[in-house]
Amino acid sequence: MIPTTGNFPTSWSQYEHLGTARFRGSPPNEPPPLIVRRLHFISKFFHFLEAASQRLRQDIFKREFTAAAMETDEQRKLTVEDIKTAPMDFRFPTTNQARHCFTRFVEYHKCVRAKGDEAGSQCNKYARYYRSLCPNEWVEKWNEQLENGTFAGPL
């Protein structure tokens, strides 16, 4: 009987025959054919993984390199001002910024209507504010309503 600790045997000598099983015709100094086949499979598998990871690294490098090469001058000229969000507005102190978003959208369109053709640089800040605050779905819906003449805001 093998001494045990809990459910596990403390000596594995009873299982040694599983790793050294000989088959008819196998020489005594060579490992069993089953183990040779398993080792061969494992080595082929690791070679496959190495080749796959190498191809993946090359693909990622190519994608990054081509994306960096395709960058236009406009993308390179981004400044901190282009990325800023809307500043704090004392009229909207709460966390919910839905009213702030709507107000900035309305302010932008009021500015564009008031300035006409000169609205470009002066009204861009309002456009940047509402684009940073408002979900795209809302803006699309409001723009459709403006085109149809059904927008409910005070313009």
Q: Structural domains in the chain?
A: 13-77 (no CATH), 80-148 (1.10.10.140)
59 φ/ψ angles, rounded to the nearest 5 degrees: -60, -45
Summarize pLDDT for 15-72 with one digit per residue, the tens. 555 555 555 555 566 666 677 778 888 888 888 888 888 888 888 777 776 666 665 5
Distances in Å between the Cα of 144 and the Cα atoms of 125, 133, 137, 148, 152 are 22, 19, 11, 6, 12
